Structure 1
Amino acid sequence: MNQPLNFKQELTCVFGQPVAENPTQCMMEAAYNACGLDWRYLTIEVAPENLAQAVGGLRAMGFRGANLTIPHKVEVIQYLDGISDAAAMMGAVNCIVRKDDQLLGENTDGKGFVQSLKEVTDPAGKKIVMFGAGGAARAIGVETALAGAAEITIVNRSTERGEALAQLLQEKTNVPTTFTKWDGDYTLADDVDVVINATSIGLFPDVDAVFPLDFASLKSNMIVSDVIPNPPETHLLREAAKAGCTTLDGLGMLVNQGVIGFQLWTGVDPDPQVMRAALEEVFGVK
């Protein structure tokens, strides 16, 4: 991890706005080291107007791939040689993989979530309520639908975005999908199996934000998941745990996204426990 760069090393990167200690960078480099790979994962700030040049540099310098954050996930598509079917459905790419001389786009957001969910239950046949209609919700909605969800309800404050996502899922996956406007504390139906927060409510630094849910409607047989990794324990998850629900934090999704990207870039299966331990160290999880 502390070795200097040299021409023998393989490189991957993330296009976004770097922070002092990037959690994904720490996670990926811990996995590279554990697998004995002389690779680096670099955090590179790229302004929107420089995205085309950044992808060109990716090609020229032989990077094996990259991750992308907001605001690049949609705009990058025009600069790639192709994208996966799932990424095409979502209309967004968060992972670039070099195959021979081509740069191909993938989206690991939803796949990472589904893998995390499968550690506690199979989404096939489940009734899902998902809060949010942004990029994360779109990716998770597509992948849970493709995994066989029986029914999906999109709950969102913006009617336009919520209805658009419900329509996309209905048309592209044929999974029955409805939209409900989020106005006040949402009450869950008794037959809901999986509850997903795909919004930023509770994300650092707004860690004390109260999640607008009627917590009395939570049932102990429900699985409650939050995509927020920082902090790993959100207000929603604390209340769900009090109700006896099985909870899934955002670290699991982040780890599984990393595992998928790692496999795509290297062809090697990393140790998820090593990756989670690196994240827990960054976030100070006891």
Structure 2
Amino acid sequence: MIERAFESAELDWRFLSFECGPNRLDEALRGAAALGFRGVKLAEAFRGAAAAMIEAIPGALLSDAARFSGSVGCLAERDGVLVGEDFEGQAVLRAALAHGPIDGRRAVLLGAGRAARSIGLALAQQGALLLVAEPDIEPAERLAEDLRGAVPNAQIEAGGYDEGDELALDPTTAVVVRPAEISEKTVSPAWIDFATLRPGMVVIDATLESVRTGLLRESAARGAVGVEGVTLLALETAMTLEAWTGVKVDPAVLADAAEEFLGL
């Protein structure tokens, strides 16, 4: 996928994949810094652990977004320093903004985990009126409090409900986001009351599935706009490549390559 993007942008760059065991991640990150790599892309399983290691490495630091989320999706070299970045939330934000402004509009974020922190920060910084919805109210309240601390004047609410209940969406909701960590394999697809989906709502499902998820199928049936996980993967990867090279990469090229590679 990334090699195809380099070719499309006429960049004389190479992307190489390396196997790394979890117990040797710190060594791998230190090696990348020592060898002068222009960038590193991290597998999902390493993102949280990498965030805890980066600032102990000479010549490396975390971006504000990565520090808040506790997640690093990539490292990018800037003026001789490797910066740990988290573009996951920005990818969701770009996908939402492609369908209209969200400043002052309602957004619902399902869950309060690591990915939700990244997404919540991006939406709050854009001025969304954000509801963090989670069956367990305590994580939702912690994330809402952290977001208020990080984004002055942010309007954030936390909502809890009994697991198995359906979340009724406010009819003025503009955006609904389900992070990849909240999948249909671990959470009932009926987490949302599908009858409360409305035409024009933007429903973003970050899960990468070989078939359209139940949430997106129900959204389409009710006239809502669905955004699939492969779109988010392409947007996040495009931002990563731009951070490495300084050149904008067409996300559509990445999406086509990702669909082919993943068999979507």
4+ runs deviating over 3 angstroms = 199-203, 206-209
Change (3 A) 1:37 1:116: same
Counting aligned pairs with the same residue, the percent is 32
- TM-score norm. by structure 1 comes to 0.82
> Which protein has the bigger helix share?
2
Cα distance in 2 for partners of 1:239, 1:283 equals 23
Aligned position for 1:171:
149
Match of 1:192 among 166, 173, 179: 173
Aligned position for 2:199:
220
Q: Give the counterpart letter for 1:103 in structure 2.
A: L
- How far has the Cα of 1:109 moved from its partner? 0.5
Q: Residue 158 of structure 1 contacts residue 181 of structure 1 at CA under 8 Å; is this kept in 2?
A: yes
- How far has the Cα of 1:51 moved from its partner? 2.0
- How far has the Cα of 1:76 moved from its partner? 2.9
User: After alignment, is 243-252 or 38-47 more displaced?
Assistant: 38-47
Match of 1:134 among 110, 113, 131: 113
In the TM superposition, what are the counterparts of 1:16-35 in structure 2 within 5 Å?
27-35=1-9
Cα distance in 2 for partners of 1:44, 1:211 equals 39
- TM-score norm. by structure 2 comes to 0.88
In the TM superposition, what are the counterparts of 1:97-108 in structure 2 within 5 Å?
97-108=76-87
- How far has the Cα of 1:104 moved from its partner? 1.2
Change (3 A) 1:216 1:155: same
- How far has the Cα of 1:154 moved from its partner? 0.6
- How far has the Cα of 1:130 moved from its partner? 0.8
SS in 2 for 1:43: coil
Cα distance in 1 for partners of 2:161, 2:211 equals 24
Q: Residue 185 of structure 1 contacts residue 214 of structure 1 at CA under 8 Å; is this kept in 2?
A: yes
Q: Give the counterpart letter for 1:237 in structure 2.
A: L
Q: Give the counterpart letter for 2:197 in structure 1.
A: L
- How far has the Cα of 1:228 moved from its partner? 1.1
SS in 2 for 1:152: strand
Change (3 A) 1:105 1:208: closer
Match of 2:93 among 95, 114, 121: 114
- How far has the Cα of 1:61 moved from its partner? 2.7
Q: Residue 109 of structure 2 contacts residue 131 of structure 2 at CA under 8 Å; is this kept in 1?
A: yes
Q: Residue 69 of structure 2 contacts residue 115 of structure 2 at CA under 8 Å; is this kept in 1?
A: no
- How far has the Cα of 1:177 moved from its partner? 1.1
Cα distance in 1 for partners of 2:189, 2:117 equals 23
Change (3 A) 1:40 1:158: farther
User: After alignment, is 81-90 or 213-222 more displaced?
Assistant: 81-90
- How far has the Cα of 1:116 moved from its partner? 1.4
Change (3 A) 1:281 1:197: same
Cα distance in 2 for partners of 1:154, 1:208 equals 16
Match of 2:52 among 75, 81, 94: 75
Cα distance in 1 for partners of 2:65, 2:166 equals 32
1:57 paired with 2:34, answer no
- How far has the Cα of 1:57 moved from its partner? 1.1
Cα distance in 2 for partners of 1:283, 1:49 equals 27
Change (3 A) 1:193 1:72: closer
Match of 1:158 among 136, 155, 166: 136
- How far has the Cα of 1:155 moved from its partner? 0.9
Aligned position for 2:103:
124
Cα distance in 1 for partners of 2:8, 2:115 equals 29
Cα distance in 2 for partners of 1:211, 1:46 equals 38
In the TM superposition, what are the counterparts of 1:143-154 in structure 2 within 5 Å?
143-149=122-128, 151-154=129-132
Cα distance in 1 for partners of 2:100, 2:16 equals 34
SS in 2 for 1:40: coil
Q: Give the counterpart letter for 2:232 in structure 1.
A: M
Q: Residue 55 of structure 2 contacts residue 62 of structure 2 at CA under 8 Å; is this kept in 1?
A: no
The Cα RMSD (Å) is: 2.1
Q: Residue 110 of structure 2 contacts residue 182 of structure 2 at CA under 8 Å; is this kept in 1?
A: no
- How far has the Cα of 1:229 moved from its partner? 2.3
Cα distance in 1 for partners of 2:14, 2:24 equals 22
Give 5+ residue unaligned stretches, structure 1: 1-26
